[in-house]
Amino acid sequence: MNDDSLCVNIQELVGVMKKLRAPDGCPWDRKQTHESLMPFIMEECGEFLDAVAAKDDANMREELGDVLMHIVLHSVMAEERGKFTFTDVVHDIAAKMKHRHPHVFSDEKVNDAEEVVGLWEKVKAQEKNHAPDKEASALDGVPMHCPALIQAEKLQKKAAKLGFDWSRQEEIVDKIQEELNELREAMKSGDDAHIDEELGDLFFAASNLSRFRKRRSGELLLGAANRKFKTRFMFMEKELAAQGKSDDECWTAMRKRLNVFSTATEGGCSVLFTTQGFFKALASTVKDPSKEEAILTEHTADPVYAVNIDMSANQLTYLITSWGFISK
């Protein structure tokens, strides 16, 4: 796309949103405010993240358009109030990117990506120091309407820059255990407010571990866990429905089976599953030929295959979830 067509398309989108907000436009769009649209822009961002996780380029394109629509709509609403325009928004972000990348647009020198992050934070701090409303705390500047897990990690990162941090990840695991023990004590008391407080402390401590490890954010890790659970749950629904079980029977069997996908043993793992197709796919995926000689037995309560494989629980869980539980 050349610059001319980009300008035309952007102008068209701005024109569409202004028309929707016009007196003869859409009644729903006309009644919206910045506040009323907050849940919708969060939803659109979530749908874009789902498309990224699914590596679905077509859906990514669509969802980015939905996010852009919200940006333009908010800008049009601000223009109606005489505050700023979409042109102002684009100008300001372009200027910010240039200012925060002096190693690209000026003479500053950096050697690697880590130095770029440090330079970014340095320039950002300079901007805040010159701002009319200077931050009163090192923890200021963390948006309070972002997801709580992201918010927790941002607060922890800011505190860590001042030396308020752990030295080893094992210390954080100990802290998680401490919070878990406190939660257990709170549950014994039956004090709901205390239980809620300790549960929040446990979440905060767990997010600190993902932040400290500097691999994947807690938000991404929790999202992966959600998808893993959803995959397992939906497969169980399909399998049990195919067996003609009643709803009550399905739920009882599902609760049992969700806990037996990866039963760890020393140096190995056992898996209970329902279809021979899954066993064949699992056996063909495991590279070591000796592991393909899995033992097939029949469970007494429910006809399933017990597959015994010399593989750690983590390895097997990853294998099953990455394979998707889809048997032919």
- Asked if the model's pLDDT at residue 290 lies above 90, the reply is no
Domains 3-99 and 148-215 share a fold: yes
Q: Which helix (H) or strand (E) holds 274?
A: none
The residue ranges of every structural domain in the chain are 3-99, 148-215, 224-323
pLDDT in tens, 219-278: 888 888 888 777 777 776 777 677 776 666 666 665 555 444 433 333 444 443 434 444
pTM, rounded to two decimals: 0.54
Task: For residue 49, give the nearest of 235, 222, 233 by alpha carbon.
Answer: 222
Topology of the domain comprising 148-215:
Helix Hairpins (1.10.287)
Phi, psi of 305, deg, nearest 5: -100, 135
Question: What CATH number has the domain spanning 3-99?
Answer: 1.10.287.1080
* pLDDT for position 326: 32
CA dist., res. 73 & res. 38, Å (int): 12
CA dist., res. 214 & res. 187, Å (int): 33
CA dist., res. 88 & res. 98, Å (int): 15
pLDDT in tens, 32-88: 999 999 889 988 998 998 899 889 999 999 999 999 999 999 999 999 999 999 999
- Asked if the model's pLDDT at residue 306 lies above 70, the reply is no
Q: How confident is the model at residue 148 (pLDDT cuts 50, 70, 90)?
A: confident
CA dist., res. 182 & res. 167, Å (int): 23
DSSP label of 298? B
- Asked if the model's pLDDT at residue 294 lies above 60, the reply is no
CB within 8 Å of 112: residues ≥ 6 apart: none
Which residue type occupies 163?
A: G
CA dist., res. 282 & res. 28, Å (int): 52
* pLDDT for position 255: 56
Inter-residue contact 182 to 198 (CB < 8 Å):
yes
